[in-house]
C-alpha cells in the first residue's frame, strides 16, 4: 500500500470530497435557502457561494435556473467544481480567500455552507469575512450560512475517532478537541484505489466553534442584523444545537 504524508486541507481529498459527503442532503439545504429568498422577496435569481468547494450546491442552483458565483481558496476543490460545471452558462468561479475578497458587482444572496466559517480560527478572521460579505451584498440582500456549534465540536467530535464508508470509500476521522480555544483538530485518513493499487492519504483540518453571542456580535459589528436558527429550521438557535443557520441582512 502506498501512503502520502499529511497534506493541507482540501488538497488530496478534493477528488473524493463528493463521495465523502454523499450522505449530505444538499438539495434540502438549497430548498430551505430558496424559501428564505422568497420570504425576502428577492426576485433576481443569483447566488454567490463563498467557500463553494466542489460546487455541489452551485450545480443545484444552476439546475434551478440561478446565475452563480463561487469562491474558494483551494485550487484542487475549484478544479473539481470547474469540471462539474463546465459547459454550464452563467457560472463564474473565483479563486480567493473568504477573509479578504471583493466582487465587481453586488449580489442579492450570499451563502457560506457546511462548516466553511468554522475554518476561520480567530474572531478577527470571522469579522473580516463578514465585512467582505457585507460589501458584496446588495442593500436588500441576504446572507445565509451554517456553522458547527461548540457543542458539536466538543461533545460529538470530541476526542473521538470515527470510521466511515461512503460509496465504498473507507476513511478514518480522528478528532482532538482543545477546550481552551474551542478548536477541533481533525486528521482524515482516506483509503482509496488508483490504477488497481490501494493507497492512503491524510489531511489535517482545524475548525473552531464560537459562542452564538460572539457570532451575532461579530455580524452586528460588520453591519448586519438578523437571526441564528437551528439548522434548516426557523427555531431560534441554542448552544445545544449541533449546527446552526444564520440569516442576516444589511
Ligand atoms: C467543508 S468544505 C465545504 C465546501 C462547500 N461549501 C460544501 O458545502 O460542500 C469547506 C470549504 O471551505 C474552503 N475554505 C476554507 N478556508 C477558506 C478561506 N479562508 N477562503 C476560502 N475558502 C476557504 C475550503 O477550501 C473548502 O472548500
With a 6 Å cutoff on the Cβ, whether 190 touches ligand 1 is no
pLDDT at 226 > cutoff 90: yes
SS3 129: helix
> Residues 118-133: what's their mean pLDDT?
98
Choice from 61, 71, 72 to test ligand 1 binding pocket (greatest atom count within 8 A of CB): 72
Distance 97 CA to ligand 1 centre (A): 9
State the number of CA atoms in the 13 A half-sphere of 111 facing the CB: 26
Q: For the chain, where do the domains classified as CATH 2.20.25.110 start and end? A: 2-9+151-208
Say which DSSP state 142 is in.
E
Residues in the chain: 250
| Helix/strand/coil (H/E/C) assignment for every residue in 172-217 | EEEEEEECCCCEEEEEEEEEEEECCEEEEEEEEEEEECCCHHHHHH
Q: Where are the beta strands (DSSP E) in the chain?
A: 2-7, 46-50, 67-72, 91-95, 107-112, 137-148, 161-166, 169-178, 183-194, 197-208, 225-230, 243-249
Residue nearest to atom 9 of ligand 1 (CA): 53
> Residues 77-98: what's their mean pLDDT?
96
**pLDDT at res. 166:** 87
Separation of alpha carbons 110 and 243, rounded Å:
19
Q: Rounded to two decimals, what is the model's pTM? A: 0.96
With a 6 Å cutoff on the Cβ, whether 203 touches ligand 1 is no
Separation of alpha carbons 58 and 68, rounded Å:
6
Smallest CA-to-CA distance from 210 within 143, 145, 141 is with 145
Q: How far is CA 192 from the centre of its chain?
A: 24
Is residue 186 within 8 A of residue 205, CB to CB? The reply is yes
**Residue bearing cell 449580489:** 107
Kindly state the helix (H) or strand (E) to which residue 90 belongs, with its residue range: none
Question: Per-residue pLDDT tens for 41-68?
Answer: 999 999 999 999 999 999 999 999 999 9
SS3 125: helix
pLDDT at 3 > cutoff 70: no
Choice from 13, 116, 205, 232 to test ligand 1 binding pocket (greatest atom count within 8 A of CB): 116
Q: For the chain, where do the domains classified as CATH 3.40.50.150 start and end? A: 14-149+210-249
Task: Provide the Cα torsion 235, 138, 70, 247; round to 10°.
Answer: -10
pLDDT band, very low/low/confident/very high, at 30 (cuts 50, 70, 90): very high
Fold for 2-9+151-208, please state it. Answer: N-terminal domain of TfIIb (2.20.25)
pLDDT band, very low/low/confident/very high, at 199 (cuts 50, 70, 90): confident
Distance 236 CA to ligand 1 centre (A): 25
pLDDT band, very low/low/confident/very high, at 127 (cuts 50, 70, 90): very high
With a 6 Å cutoff on the Cβ, whether 114 touches ligand 1 is yes
Q: State the CATH architecture for 14-149+210-249.
A: 3-Layer(aba) Sandwich (3.40)
pLDDT at 158 > cutoff 80: yes
Amino acid at each position: 500500500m502506498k501512503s502520502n504524508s499529511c497534506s493541507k486541507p482540501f488538497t488530496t481529498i478534493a477528488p473524493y470530497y463528493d463521495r465523502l459527503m454523499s450522505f449530505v442532503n444538499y438539495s434540502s439545504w438549497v430548498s430551505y435557502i430558496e424559501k428564505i429568498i422568497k420570504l425576502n422577496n428577492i426576485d433576481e435569481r443569483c447566488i454567490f457561494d463563498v467557500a463553494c468547494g466542489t460546487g455541489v450546491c452551485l450545480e443545484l442552483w444552476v439546475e434551478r435556473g440561478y446565475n452563480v458565483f463561487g469562491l474558494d481558496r483551494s485550487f484542487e476543490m475549484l478544479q473539481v467544481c470547474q469540471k462539474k460545471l463546465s459547459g454550464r452558462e452563467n457560472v463564474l468561479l473565483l479563486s480567493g480567500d473568504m477573509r479578504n475578497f471583493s466582487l465587481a458587482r453586488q449580489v442579492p444572496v450570499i451563502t457560506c455552507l457546511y462548516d466553511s466559517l468554522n475554518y476561520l480560527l480567530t474572531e478577527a478572521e470571522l469579522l473580516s469575512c463578514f465585512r467582505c460579505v457585507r460589501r458584496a451584498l446588495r442593500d436588500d440582500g441576504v446572507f445565509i450560512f451554517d456553522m458547527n456549534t461548540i457543542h458539536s465540536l466538543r461533545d460529538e467530535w470530541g476526542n473521538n475517532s470515527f470510521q466511515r464508508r461512503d460509496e465504498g470509500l473507507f476513511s478514518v476521522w480522528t478528532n482532538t478537541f482543545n477546550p481552551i480555544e474551542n478548536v477541533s483538530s481533525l486528521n482524515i485518513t482516506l483509503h482509496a484505489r488508483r490504477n488497481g493499487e490501494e493507497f492512503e492519504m491524510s489531511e489535517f483540518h482545524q475548525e473552531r466553534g464560537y459562542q452564538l453571542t460572539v457570532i451575532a456580535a461579530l455580524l452586528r459589528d460588520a453591519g448586519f442584523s438578523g437571526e441564528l436558527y437551528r439548522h434548516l429550521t426557523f427555531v431560534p438557535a441554542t448552544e445545544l444545537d449541533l449546527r446552526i443557520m444564520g440569516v442576516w441582512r444589511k
